[in-house]
Structure 1
């Protein structure tokens, strides 16, 4: 066991996979000699060689297209898209090729591709380095969508994704890449945030895809969230003193609806929380599922707390994030209904 932040855990996962399977390759912009813009691939090319870990041109369509061909040939590529905002040029390759080829070939060509990409805000990256497009990928049949919230899960989920025979888009919340924070811009570290830096096994293990985690048990209401917002939810709950159950979804698709249903039926109230914009965000799907499955157990309407329906602001990004004040207001609304 070693204490790791999320970057170190992700690096460790790829190192373990590269060491165990000669078919695993890592490719992307600046991921080789430089080790990636966030250093997630640091040292991997030196250890495993330039044919296993290699740099590509600035061509997201080409990166994912090459990965599709590699996977069809029998390899297990891990393409990195430097920021989730840049994934759109490669979207056709993901939607029209990677997501469908296994079905179109009657299973002859599996697609074991794991597309890693940092997403969300927190680094003052502005509109082109801060987007949260996860809901788009949950709409695509054939692609799995994974978002870890802590180093232990990040490594275990990434190893599970690499071993999976279907394409996985693995979103990494850059705001918690390097350690704990408590949801406030001016207070980056707090003792409660034990989930953002944790003990991680140095060898191989997996966290199953499609299984949520109850990171805090409670009886007053259920908060459904993922990624960075898990930590902000925990901070808010502790500050307000509300007995909320916080469910870290971990995988948006496939979704662990059984854990969600059990929690909401226990608490009778539900709030969904994410950083992405509100309209057509994944929270809308969660609210619909909870209403369909738990209607007669609900004591109040399902509440959403999200980012705003605006272009991502640069100087005002900390006002854009759902923080303790906005989340607390949403909790009060649910509890008083």
Structure 2
């Protein structure tokens, strides 16, 4: 009765007010979660769910991780499940691979994926090839994870993107999350997978907060490996990216929308397997494609997408050549102004979109 009187006095429609109130009651709750916390939650939930899961790496235990991704896990699970290792990537990666072959499910953290080059023999020759060489009799359920790509002010030896490196190798699954929801859902899927998974995080995203749906807050939330996500619908041109540069694409799309150019933005999530079906469907709709990545141009993720578009049915829908936006083909400089000019910026994406559309 009080609601009815209030609506009469204010001239509002009582039914619309009731509907709006009911919608807010039933609307899914969104919370802000950083990528770092999403990764921590994923590992915590999987450690709790399966006693075969354990984490090892440099400073992951007592120090809570170099980037605090394993914060609180050592205190909760102890030395047997959260293991500090010496600074010897080939050694502890080999231990992790052996334990996976023996029936455990290790998460092997590299302080940065640049250091994974020390352990690449274990990752490729031991983990990736074993299932094939054993005719499927021996699985290797292991996750290699850590920060990937360029950071800020760490120069050439700490600023490489390994998406193309590991995406090149059969026997591996390679994931590259952007949002907190990606990070949690994909890491849980990787830990549960019976194959070796390379999980490429981004250091500059760790502290970035994203809205996370009520569904993603569940302990049962898992994202499918090998499935991309359309982050923004559009009709004029398709932008395909992964990791941090999905955000750059969305920012560029927001700017271009003000000029009447509606971009469709695809978040790859998975580098291997690659979801070409989603990309091809988008290209069939927009007739234009720009790929965006932080890695080097030669033999990169964008190069692979371009080749598959040229070889497949989507080629017939293109109204202009595919354009790649990539990092510059040089080792990363240390100076900030040079570093900024060595990786894709929003202006570079906008320029490439207009070039593709001949605007």
Q: TM-score range by the shorter chain?
A: over 0.9
Q: How far off is 1:79 after superposition? A: 0.3
Q: Which has the greater radius of gyration?
A: 2
CA distance in 1: counterparts of 2:150 and 2:129, whole angstroms: 31
> Does the CA contact (< 8 Å) of 2:189 and 2:225 recur in 1?
yes
Q: Which residue of 2 aligns with 1:298?
A: 318
Q: Which residue of 1 aligns with 2:256?
A: 240
CA distance in 1: counterparts of 2:173 and 2:137, whole angstroms: 19
Q: Aligned to 2:51, which of 17, 22, 39?
A: 22
Select the structure that is richer in helix. Answer: 2
CA distance in 1: counterparts of 2:151 and 2:161, whole angstroms: 12
Q: Which residue of 2 aligns with 1:231?
A: 247
CA distance in 1: counterparts of 2:319 and 2:207, whole angstroms: 39
SS at match of 1:310: coil
CA distance in 2: counterparts of 1:90 and 1:121, whole angstroms: 20
CA offsets per residue over residues 295-329 of structure 1, 9 Å max, x none? 11100000001100000112222222211111111
TM-score using structure 2 length: 0.87
Q: How far off is 1:37 after superposition? A: 0.8
> Does the CA contact (< 8 Å) of 2:151 and 2:158 recur in 1?
no
CA distance in 2: counterparts of 1:5 and 1:240, whole angstroms: 27
Alignment of 1:64-83 (within 5 A): 64-83=93-112
Q: Aligned to 2:352, which of 313, 317, 330?
A: 330
> Does the CA contact (< 8 Å) of 1:222 and 1:247 recur in 2?
yes
Moved more, 234-243 or 51-60: 234-243
SS at match of 1:100: helix
Query: Which runs of 5 or more structure 2 residues have no equivalent in the other structure?
Result: 1-28
Q: Which residue of 1 aligns with 2:19?
A: none
Q: How far off is 1:15 after superposition? A: 0.2
Q: How far off is 1:203 after superposition? A: 2.1
RMSD between superposed Cα atoms in Å: 1.3
Q: Which residue of 2 aligns with 1:289?
A: 308
> Does the CA contact (< 8 Å) of 2:107 and 2:145 recur in 1?
yes
Q: Which residue of 1 aligns with 2:37?
A: 8
> Does the CA contact (< 8 Å) of 1:122 and 1:317 recur in 2?
no
Q: Aligned to 2:126, which of 92, 97, 101?
A: 97
SS at match of 2:347: helix
CA distance in 2: counterparts of 1:174 and 1:204, whole angstroms: 26
Q: Aligned to 1:219, which of 227, 232, 235?
A: 235
Query: Which runs of 5 or more structure 1 residues have no equivalent in the other structure?
Result: 181-195
Q: Which residue of 1 aligns with 2:219?
A: 203
Alignment of 1:1-337 (within 5 A): 2-179=31-208, 196-199=210-213, 200-241=216-257, 242-293=261-312, 294-315=314-335, 316-336=338-358
> Does the CA contact (< 8 Å) of 2:227 and 2:270 recur in 1?
yes
CA distance in 2: counterparts of 1:11 and 1:225, whole angstroms: 24
> Does the CA contact (< 8 Å) of 1:216 and 1:244 recur in 2?
yes
Moved more, 222-231 or 104-113: 104-113
> Does the CA contact (< 8 Å) of 2:143 and 2:198 recur in 1?
yes
Q: How far off is 1:105 after superposition? A: 1.8
SS at match of 2:324: strand
Q: How far off is 1:123 after superposition? A: 2.6
TM-score using structure 1 length: 0.93
CA distance in 2: counterparts of 1:326 and 1:223, whole angstroms: 12
Q: How far off is 1:109 after superposition? A: 1.6
CA distance in 1: counterparts of 2:178 and 2:127, whole angstroms: 26
Q: How far off is 1:197 after superposition? A: 4.8
Q: Which runs of 4+ in 1 moved over 6 A?
A: none
